[in-house]
Amino acid sequence: MNLQLTSYDNVTVLKIAGRIDSHSVQRLRQQLIVNASGTEKNIILDLAGVDFIDSSGLAAIVHGMKQCRAVGGDLRLCKTPQAVRMVLELTRLDKALEIFLDQESALLSFTTTMPKAEVQVAA
């Protein structure tokens, strides 16, 4: 499994490629702990390169989501391949996690739902 990390203004994007299973999940789990416990509380997982995910991978993602939400952020998914999408739908985890078609939409969702503090609303 390969992990590629890109930091944006208030979001960290983790691009994942390969299999997320019990043999590889520890790296993802550790990375999510680092991100969710740091100043970045918003994470996007770009799953375009993932060809397989098992329950340990799903558990790591759900735990990351819980950690982010506990501090007012969120973990969202984008570019889920058909095989991953099917697993998420069959387990109904698609109802627990927000999923976007592409990275841009996922990034925009954070901008839309969490405006920066300095943005003032006109009276």
Partner 1 sequence: MSTLPSPQPIPWEAMPSTWLATHLTTLTHEMDMAKQAQATFYPQQVPEVDGVAIFAEFRPAMQVSGDYYDFVPLSAHELLFTVGDVSNKGLTAAFFTPLMRKVIRTALKLGKSTPKSVLDYVNADLYDEFSRAAMFTTTFIGLYEANSRRLRYVNAGQAPVIYRRTDGSARLLQADGPPVGIFAYSPCVEQELQLAPGDLLMVGTDGLVEVRNSANEIFGYERLLHLVDTVCSHTPASVTAAIFYKLTSFAAARKREDDQTLLIIKGV
Which residues make up the interface to partner 1 (CB under 8 A)?
21-22, 29, 52, 54-56, 58-60, 62-63, 66, 86-87, 89-93, 95-96
Nearest approach in angstroms of CB 69 to partner 1 is 11
Nearest approach in angstroms of CB 1 to partner 1 is 15
Nearer to partner 1, 71 or 108 (CB): 71
The total of other beta-carbon atoms located within 10 Å of residue 123's CB is 3
Nearest approach in angstroms of CB 5 to partner 1 is 20
Nearer to partner 1, 54 or 98 (CB): 54
Per the structure block, which two tokens stand in for 25? 């999940």
The answer for 92, left when phi > 0, alpha when psi is -120 to 50, beta otherwise, is left
Nearer to partner 1, 47 or 60 (CB): 60
Exposed/middle/buried for 39, CB within 10 Å: 0-12, 13-18, 19+? exposed
